[in-house]
Amino acid sequence: MASRLQVCAGGLLIGGGAPVSVQSMTTTPTKDAAATRAQIRELATAGAALVRVSVPDEESARALPEIIENTPVPLAADIHFQADLALLSLDAGIHKLRLNPGNIRRRKDVRRIAERAAELNVPIRVGVNSGSIPGDVREKYGSGVDGLWAAAERHLGLLGETGFTRIVVSIKASDPMLTVSANLKAASLCDHPLHLGVTEAGPPSTAGVRSAVAMALLLSRGVGDTIRVSSSGSPLVEPPLGLEILSSLGLLRRARVVSCPTCARARLDVAALAEEVSLALRTCETPITVAVMGCEVNGPGEAREADIALIGTPTGILLWLRGKAAGEVAPEQALQTLMREIARFSAPGGNCERERS
Amino acid sequence: MASRLQVCAGGLLIGGGAPVSVQSMTTTPTKDAAATRAQIRELATAGAALVRVSVPDEESARALPEIIENTPVPLAADIHFQADLALLSLDAGIHKLRLNPGNIRRRKDVRRIAERAAELNVPIRVGVNSGSIPGDVREKYGSGVDGLWAAAERHLGLLGETGFTRIVVSIKASDPMLTVSANLKAASLCDHPLHLGVTEAGPPSTAGVRSAVAMALLLSRGVGDTIRVSSSGSPLVEPPLGLEILSSLGLLRRARVVSCPTCARARLDVAALAEEVSLALRTCETPITVAVMGCEVNGPGEAREADIALIGTPTGILLWLRGKAAGEVAPEQALQTLMREIARFSAPGGNCERERS
């Protein structure tokens, strides 16, 4: 596997050994700067390290300066077909472009974009989707691995002619295993950083699973430098799913809620508590483990490994702290108790820092 | 990798090259036979090929005959500590036991269970969870891979003494990567079929991702014969998540909805349509692909590969059938049109069979 080059998008390093970052994309009309700014802030809070906005027309491009001003995370502009929109985005101060040179009609326009992007140190992502392989490529190579890579090669060739090097490559298919094969091929044939994603992955339940399958098989082999889980509907679900994938692979340390599936043995409303706790921990960067366990079969075992745990038992609900029993809790106080202990662990200078330092 | 032995649970083959099956577990009190029967039927409809019920007391065991009668899928009884409950479950006609011999105090009780299970051709799953490693094992081997395997070995040793061979092994940790390492070790050291799961995986959003990560890394190497996604809350989400994992890995052919993440370009309410269509296709075993695409950028490409597609365009919504444009659809007719075409594809003897045969 070739080692990856590194690019920098508004301070965010991608590739070359930088931590794998999580991206998302707005669904607001970009020309509505206020709505787009608000969604970017929400996505950043949810864990996105870079947010992409679609720039389908001049009105959207004209809104970019206002959107970019004071943005909490770097922004990428998604451009199709129109060179002018890329140039306007660059002039507005965009941090990254997603643009396929093969879709820009005139080579001199590709050169203008590349030169301006190079001057501004703005990377360009060349992104091939299974849904947008050019017709002639599809006819010659099909719409599998070979077609996807041939499409990427065409765009990379056009950009390469200009001498531009700050390139990120993405090859996304709606079939997770095709996404895996295509990215393994890309990783073996080029040394640009790779942006991973499964395209058109459906609503959150299927998007999370399809993306996790493809990304696990790639990231576990060291392939992939930045990821996006694409989900239909609100994009706010995307960053948590991406973070969960990285955390599951051991690529990210963060707060984790473990909770049992609940069964006939459960003596505690595990699901409701687990959901509340997960929500509360979304903004917690302290890598604490909170266990919510319905009964005494697996409860003490998980509690022993957790920082904070609640376990249902025949005689009541037990609180465990740092692997040791710490008293009983009235059922109606369960959530409140968990929240109090989490706050104590997470507070700056609180228990967590003191105990762990 | 040793090749796996095969067991049979009420007609369901596990291991030895049988297709990977999807399991789930009821959350109803097992002693409430009517509620448990109803949930088993719902889980079977949602895609579970085997359903486990907890048998924590004699009242639950006494409800088993009524639960087992006319069950749509084989059933497993989850037993802890009490040998009598295992024997009652076997006498009731249960199809599989989940039982850890190390938790049954007297060896002669383990022998009685094993002999009765062998007579009835009922397999036993020995299941180790990171939360229930025996204290002495944990002290000697820790709670990582070595501790998990040592706990499994203890149970397997006790069962092996009886000459019983119809064994399935599961080693579940709440950490997905520990689950992976432990199952790779198990696969290299024993030839029993393996049941995969990430334990205490939280609510559906995290459960799906954590399970998908671990199962992708194992199943892609041929490790794993049956799976359960454990999710806090309603178990009805578990079988679809499990099926989605198998489908993503190319281990299962079934209907697939591809839908774009929607962005500022979307000209169609993709999320609402995709959710409705996903729901409608849950009971469809025909491996059709339905694409719901917001705009004309990736729309035609995905539509070309799909059996049925709707694409938003500046001039209206287009219907594509079998890769070809098939007319325009009024926005308020979008869902109705999709449903009609899906019904035509899925109907026995309908378009689908005729076109594909």
Residues 6+ apart with CB under 8 A from A346: A255, A284, A286, A288, A352
Q: Name every chain A residue with its beta carbon within 8 A of the beta carbon of B206.
A: 244, 257, 278
**DSSP per residue over A145-165, as a string?**
HHHHHHHHHHHHHHHHHTT--
Assess contact for A86 and A99: CB atoms under 8 A. Answer: yes
CB contact under 8 A, A259 and B232: yes
CB contact under 8 A, A208 and B210: no
Chain A's closest residue to B228, CA to CA, is A261
Assess contact for B230 and B23: CB atoms under 8 A. Answer: no
Mutate to test the interface with B, among A248, A260, A288, A320 (most CBs of B within 10 A): A248
Chain A's closest residue to B174, CA to CA, is A258
pLDDT above 50 (res A67):
yes
* pLDDT (average), residues B327-352: 76
Interface of A with B in 324-353 (CB under 8 A): none
Residue-wise pLDDT for A309-335, tens only, equals: 888 888 888 899 988 889 899 888 888
* pLDDT (average), residues B187-206: 92
**DSSP per residue over A220-247, as a string?**
TTT--SEEE---SS-GGGHHHHHHHHHH
Residue-wise pLDDT for B22-49, tens only, equals: 999 999 999 999 999 999 999 999 999 9
Q: What is the structure's pLDDT at A350?
A: 44
Chain A's closest residue to B264, CA to CA, is A29
pLDDT above 50 (res A185):
yes
By Cβ distance, the residue of B215, B278, B305 closest to A202 is B278
Could you give the 3-state DSSP secondary structure of residue A353? helix
Question: How sure is the predictor about A352, in pLDDT bands with cuts at 50, 70 and 90?
Answer: very low
Structure tokens at A285: 């960067």
Question: How sure is the predictor about B264, in pLDDT bands with cuts at 50, 70 and 90?
Answer: low
Q: What is the structure's pLDDT at A351?
A: 41
CB contact under 8 A, B132 and A220: no
Q: Name every chain B residue with its beta carbon within 8 A of the beta carbon of A235.
A: 261
Q: Out of A65-74, A224-233, A285-294, B178-187, pick the least confident.
A: A285-294
**DSSP per residue over A64-82, as a string?**
HHHHHTT-SS-EEEE--S-
Which of A197, A193, A189, A148 is CA-nearest to residue A166?
A: A193
Chain B's closest residue to A250, CA to CA, is B177
Which of B26, B36, B97 is CA-nearest to residue B68?
A: B36
CB contact under 8 A, A28 and B248: no
Q: Does A174 touch chain B (CB under 8 A)?
A: yes
Separation between Cα atoms, residue A67 and residue A69, nearest integer Å: 6
Q: What is the structure's pLDDT at B352?
A: 38
Q: What is the structure's pLDDT at B73?
A: 97
Q: What is the structure's pLDDT at A264?
A: 65
Choice between A355 and B278, residue whose per-residue pLDDT is larger: B278
Q: Which class for B34: exposed (0-12), middle (13-18), buried (19 or more C-beta within 10 A)?
A: exposed
Exposure of B7 in the CB half-sphere (CA atoms within 13 A): 28
Which of A306, A305, A257 is CA-nearest to residue A278?
A: A257
pLDDT above 70 (res A77):
yes
Interface of A with B in 22-61 (CB under 8 A): 25-31, 53-54, 56, 60
* Cα–Cα distance list, A281 to A241, A247, B211 (Å): 14, 14, 20
* pLDDT (average), residues A148-171: 95
Q: Name every chain A residue with its beta carbon within 8 A of the beta carbon of B263.
A: 25-27, 54, 78
Percent of chain A beyond pLDDT 70? 94
* pLDDT (average), residues A168-179: 96
Q: Does B10 touch chain A (CB under 8 A)?
A: no
At B297, phi and psi to the nearest 5? -75, -60
By Cβ distance, the residue of A28, A203, A261 closest to B232 is A261
Could you give the 3-state DSSP secondary structure of residue A204? helix
Question: How sure is the predictor about B314, in pLDDT bands with cuts at 50, 70 and 90?
Answer: confident
Assess contact for A255 and A281: CB atoms under 8 A. Answer: yes
Interior/surface letters B325-355, b for 16+ CB within 10 angstroms, e for the rest? ebeebeeeebbebbeebbeebbeeeebbeee
Could you give the 3-state DSSP secondary structure of residue A310? strand
By Cβ distance, the residue of B200, B264, B278 closest to A28 is B264
CB contact under 8 A, B80 and A297: yes
Q: Name every chain B residue with its beta carbon within 8 A of the beta carbon of A29.
A: 264
Question: How sure is the predictor about A356, in pLDDT bands with cuts at 50, 70 and 90?
Answer: very low
Exposure of A11 in the CB half-sphere (CA atoms within 13 A): 8
Residue A286 DSSP class? S
Residue-wise pLDDT for B139-162, tens only, equals: 999 989 999 999 999 999 999 999
Partners of B262 in beta bridges:
none
**DSSP per residue over A43-61, as a string?**
HHHTT-SEEEEE--SHHHH
At B64, phi and psi to the nearest 5? -60, -45
According to the 3-state scheme, what is the secondary structure of chain B? CCCCCEEEECCEEEECCCCCEEEEECCCCCCCHHHHHHHHHHHHHCCCCEEEEECCCHHHHHHHHHHHCCCCCCEEEECCCCHHHHHHHHHHCCCEEECCHHHCCCHHHHHHHHHHHHHHCCCEEEEEEHHHCCHHHHHHHCCCHHHHHHHHHHHHHHHHHCCCCCEEEEEECCCHHHHHHHHHHHHHHCCCCEEECCCCECCHHHHHHHHHHHHHHHHCCCCCCEEECCCCCCHHHHHHHHHHHHHHCCCCCCCEEEECCCCCCCCCCHHHHHHHHHHHHCCCCCCCEEEEECCCCCHHHHHHHCCEEEEEECCEEEEEECCEEEEEECHHHHHHHHHHHHHHHHCCCCHHHHHHC
- Whether the pTM exceeds 0.80: the reply is yes
By Cβ distance, the residue of B60, B210, B233 closest to A271 is B233
Amino acid, single-letter form, for residue B290: V
Q: Name every chain B residue with its beta carbon within 8 A of the beta carbon of A274.
A: 202-203, 232-233
CA distance B161 to chain A (A): 25
Chain A's closest residue to B266, CA to CA, is A27
Assess contact for A306 and A258: CB atoms under 8 A. Answer: yes
Q: Out of A182-196, B120-134, B297-311, pick the least confident.
A: B297-311
Percent of chain A beyond pLDDT 90? 62
ipTM, interface predicted TM-score of the complex: 0.86
Residue whose pair of structure tokens reads 């009105």 in the numeric block: A59
SS3 content of chain A, % helix, strand, coil (to 5): 45, 20, 35
By Cβ distance, the residue of B237, B275, B291 closest to A200 is B291
By Cβ distance, the residue of B129, B143, B241 closest to A209 is B241
Separation between Cα atoms, residue B288 and residue B308, nearest integer Å: 8
CB contact under 8 A, A264 and B132: no
Q: Does B251 touch chain A (CB under 8 A)?
A: no
Interface of B with A in 140-159 (CB under 8 A): 143
Q: What is the structure's pLDDT at B156?
A: 96
At B257, phi and psi to the nearest 5? -100, 125
Which of B98, B97, B95 is CA-nearest to residue B67?
A: B95
Chain A's closest residue to B301, CA to CA, is A131
**DSSP per residue over A4-47, as a string?**
PPEEEETTEEEETTPPPEEEEE--S-TT-HHHHHHHHHHHHHTT
Compute, in degrees rounded to 10, the torsion defined by CA atoms B220, B222, B226, B228.
Answer: -30
Chain A's closest residue to B55, CA to CA, is A264
Assess contact for A290 and A276: CB atoms under 8 A. Answer: no
Residue A3 DSSP class? P
Separation between Cα atoms, residue B197 and residue B232, nearest integer Å: 14
Q: What is the structure's pLDDT at A2?
A: 42
Q: What is the structure's pLDDT at B344?
A: 83
Question: How sure is the predictor about B93, in pLDDT bands with cuts at 50, 70 and 90?
Answer: very high
Structural domains in chain A, CATH included, are 6-248 (3.20.20.20), 256-346 (3.30.413.10)
CB contact under 8 A, B205 and A206: no
Amino acid, single-letter form, for residue B225: D
Assess contact for B145 and B178: CB atoms under 8 A. Answer: yes
Q: What is the mean pLDDT of chain B?
A: 89
Q: What is the structure's pLDDT at A283?
A: 62
Q: Name every chain B residue with its beta carbon within 8 A of the beta carbon of A238.
A: 261
Exposure of B281 in the CB half-sphere (CA atoms within 13 A): 28
Residue-wise pLDDT for A100-128, tens only, equals: 988 888 999 999 999 999 999 999 999 99
Q: Does B301 touch chain A (CB under 8 A)?
A: yes
Look at chain B and count its residues: 357
